[in-house]
Amino acid sequence: MWKHRKRSEPKAMPSKPRIAGIGLVALDLVWSADRPEVEFYAGGTCGNVLAILGYLGWRATPIARIGDDIAGMLLKDDLARWGTDPSVISLAPTAKTPVIVEKIRNDRNGIPFHTFSFHCPSCSRRFPGFQPVTAKSIEPASTIVQRVDILFIDRVSKSSMLLAEAASKAGVIIVFEPVSLHESRAFTHLLDLANIVKYSHDRIDELPPSASQSRQLEIQTFGRGGLRFKLSGDRRWRHMQAEPVERLVDAAGSGDWLTAGFLYGFYRGRARSQKSLEQEHVILALTLGQKLAAWNCGFRGARGGMYSEARSRIAHIIAETLSRSAVHLNPTLETSDEPSAAREVCLNCADSRVGSVHSSSAVGTMAISGGHR
């Protein structure tokens, strides 16, 4: 069960789920070698997740300090197109709008891949980067956060920590998606407050242990290798294979579709008066996220499919997935007792064993397990 603070009754769920997000909201410039024109989209992890959920009918509120420059106007116009709430997207003091350039190319085998740049393709001048909302200006956002169902955070800052504290006291579900490990107090505190934590294996190998009881679900993604998840109280991970991609054009933004699809499935499938998190429910919601992520790979840009006539396919994917039974979607239970060569050379493990391991035995163990790396 979700553990809430200072709330005796569960929050009644409105007809439309409400989500607020604080973190990276930027303007994406999408460019590819086979097209001379550059396309402009609202982007950034936080921007993408909220734009997707806004399109799916949620009340989505991005919290940022986007300026009134040209990039900011393009970004805000695009987010408004998908139904997001602009009330706290330009908190003072505003800053120059972050801009990210995505370049799409093909490798020597004709397989598309993308890279990101923070420099203008024409003059090579560096674009503005992300600047967090200041702690002094979050009061309007704090009032909004206490009335939503989910708070999404993808960047560590004092302001995001303060909003998480307010959300936690109000019984709001906190979703934290860190991009890297930090040694800051804010990062540790966000990990302690978060109910759902999602991160990529290529950025974070594993999270540090937490004494908090808040975390109910941990998700680690592996790109083409799928994902694994662990519910509160589980000692072992459960692995889910990635969904097949019918046509690979650009994989950018697929992690954001996974997040948005999971949250949509999570709220769509549960009882309105409950905060429970059952394994079958999680599997079904993650399956929806994976299917939407795979579909997204067929378009240019992190949300390119939303701008095409093919976006009607999204509703079919959702309906088809959520009508299925999770009983037939069995993730692989990862074993935790496989032999580990690391135990033979780790001083901490050695101290915990009754006897010492002879050096020749350690070398032999490493040779056996290391041969399959």
Q: Encoding tokens for residue 143?
A: 């009032």
pLDDT at residue number 345: 58
pLDDT at residue number 335: 66
Cα 277 from Cα 164, distance rounded (Å): 20
pLDDT at residue number 349: 56
Q: Which long-range contacts (CB under 8 A, 24 or more apart) does 224-230 make?
A: 225/201, 226/290, 227/258, 227/286, 227/290, 228/331, 228/334, 229/282, 229/286, 229/331
Asked if residue 238 lies in contact with residue 290, where contact means CB atoms within 8 angstroms, the answer is no
pLDDT at residue number 347: 57
Q: At 352, is the secondary structure helix, strand, or coil?
A: helix
User: Is-cis flag, bond preceding 93, omega within 30?
Assistant: yes
Cα 183 from Cα 188, distance rounded (Å): 7
Asked if residue 318 lies in contact with residue 288, where contact means CB atoms within 8 angstroms, the answer is yes
Helices 45-55 and 254-269, packing angle to 10 deg: 40
Cα 26 from Cα 231, distance rounded (Å): 32
For the domain made up of 18-22+45-90+131-333, give the CATH fold: UDP-N-acetylmuramoyl-L-alanine:D-glutamate ligase (3.40.1190)
**For 323-333, what is each residue's pLDDT tens digit?**
876 656 667 77
9 Cβ contact list (under 8 Å, min separation 6): none
Delimit the CATH 3.40.1190.20 region(s) of the chain: 18-22+45-90+131-333
Q: Encoding tokens for residue 199?
A: 């991160």
pTM of the shown model: 0.85
Residues of the chain with pLDDT under 70: 1-15, 211, 269-277, 325-330, 335-373
Cα 305 from Cα 314, distance rounded (Å): 9
Cα 136 from Cα 284, distance rounded (Å): 40
pLDDT at residue number 334: 75
pLDDT at residue number 279: 86
